[in-house]
Amino acid sequence: MSGGVDSSVAALLLAKNAKYEVIGCFIKGYNIDGCQDTDAEDARRVAEKLKIPFYVWDFEDEYKKKVVDYMIGGYRRGITPNPDVMCNKEIKFGLFLKKALEMGADFVATGHYVRRRPEFPIINYQFLNTPESIKNCKLKIAKDLGKDQSYFLWTLTQEQLRHCLFPIGDYLKRKAREIARKADLPTAEKKDSQGICFLGAVKFKDFLKQYLPVKKGDVLSIKGEKMGEHDGVWFYTIGQRHLKISNLKSKISNHRPYYVVEKNIKKNILIVAEGENNPALRKKEVDLTDVNFINPAIHNFKPTFPVFARIRYRQPLVKAELEKSGGGWKLIFSKPVKFVATGQSAVFYAKNGEMLGGGVII
């Protein structure tokens, strides 16, 4: 229970089902501005309303090491890591799931907008080892396409999925709010969190400056023309704009926005292109590492097979080919896509909305 409306409704739905014995848990992670204290209290109030036990599990040190340090290290190397993916992998469905199972839980449930198939309404646990109950689970895009969070869950394994429940995956967000209001949950009107959770109201660049040096460098156009200066390439990502160079005139410029298309870490240089439709912003293919397939049977597929892919959260799905390439994988898009950032996740789906897996862009 995160203290938000989604996990509150997830707990409510399970608590209303007599088959389940529900226990609420708040994960204490690394947090800068203290906002998680309020979140923990909100979660406790919901648990009290639902009349379920409530615990706070302290994973602050592990979160700092496995999520925060991972993110800082990625920016230091010039890539754009995804801390939300790592939080799910290492904390929520890593340490938290492991501890829950060790303490006797059969499942963990979260407020993620994603659907797992088959569902697990089975509470007669003597049957959990039957072929029917241990067959491969699938993850599918949530009913609410605008809230779907499958993009962040591509690292999950079959062993983890067998112990996971996602109670709100078949609900629209507005319906979840309605359920919370009717149940008079304390979090019913609470706003959704934005940005990176452990930062709270702290600006991302200000946080990074505590760990990475400010080092002036040149901003160059794709033709080599100096457009301005920046504070250090590690503070920027591919596709970023608002570079404080819009007031600088180029001989061929129509004063359209500039976007980062390349970063030279060794020379501390940013390369920018003018206009959001500039061909320099697009890539036809990407190489992947750390690829994980939700359904292990995918390894039996042909060396190349069609998928639908996204390389950013909430980016529309695009047609692509997933191809074995040496010891790794390559994703080839039907049409070039914009703003491909090394370190981000590329996630691929089947036509029916099943998430097949994902990998890290290199």
Residues catalogued as catalytic: 87, 197
Q: How far from the centroid of its chain's Cα atoms is residue 266's Cα?
A: 29
| DSSP conformation letters of 157-211 | -HHHHTTEE-TTTTS-HHHHHHHHHHTT-TTTTPPPP-S-GGGTTS-HHHHHTTT
Name the packing angle between helices 35-50 and 5-15 (round to 10°). Answer: 20
Q: Are strands 164-165 and 258-264 parallel, antiparallel or unpaired?
A: unpaired
Strands 269-274 and 217-221: parallel
Rounded to whole angstroms, the Cα distance separating 52 from 8 reads 12
Alpha-carbon distance of 244 to 255, in angstroms, equals 13
Q: How far apart are CA 307 and CA 352, in angstroms?
A: 10
DSSP reduced 3-state for 153: helix
How does DSSP classify residue 148? -
Measured between alpha carbons, how far is 229 from 353 in angstroms, rounded to an integer?
44
Give me the phi and psi of 81, to 5 degrees please: -70, 165
Taking the C-alpha atoms of residue 142 and residue 298, their distance in angstroms, rounded to an integer, is 22
Annotate 140-166 with b (16+ C-beta within 10 A) or e (fewer).
bbbbbeebbbbbbbbbbeeebbbbbbb
